[in-house]
Amino acid sequence: MPHSDLLPSLLNKINQNQLAFEAANLELSNWVELRGSTDVANNVHGAIIAIDRNEEFIKMTLSVMLAPE
């Protein structure tokens, strides 16, 4: 298998890791916020928003790369 064929699969796995990281951070930020550290929770929420903004582009690009030519 050529290395170029591995790139879409690699990017897909990286995207899956990013989404798992996002979910874990959301859980932690909610837990922190419930304990009164709203500044920390807000900072984490800001990072999660950045991940959300990029998610649609990543999914679209992966679908184009994985589509048969």
pLDDT digits (tens, 9 = 90+) for 8-65: 888 888 888 888 988 998 899 889 989 988 888 888 888 888 888 888 888 888 788 7
Q: Give the Cα separation of 59 and 65 in Å (integer).
A: 10
Residue 6 lies in a domain: no
Q: What does pTM read for this prediction?
A: 0.65
Place of tokens 């170029």: 4
Work out how many domains the chain is built from and give that number: 1
Confidence grade of residue 1 (pLDDT, cut at 50, 70, 90): low
Residue 35 lies in a domain: yes
Q: Give the Cα separation of 42 and 10 in Å (integer).
A: 31
Q: Is 37 helix (H, G, I), strand (E, B) or coil?
A: coil
Residue 39 lies in a domain: yes
Q: Give the residue numbers spanning the domain of 37.
A: 15-66
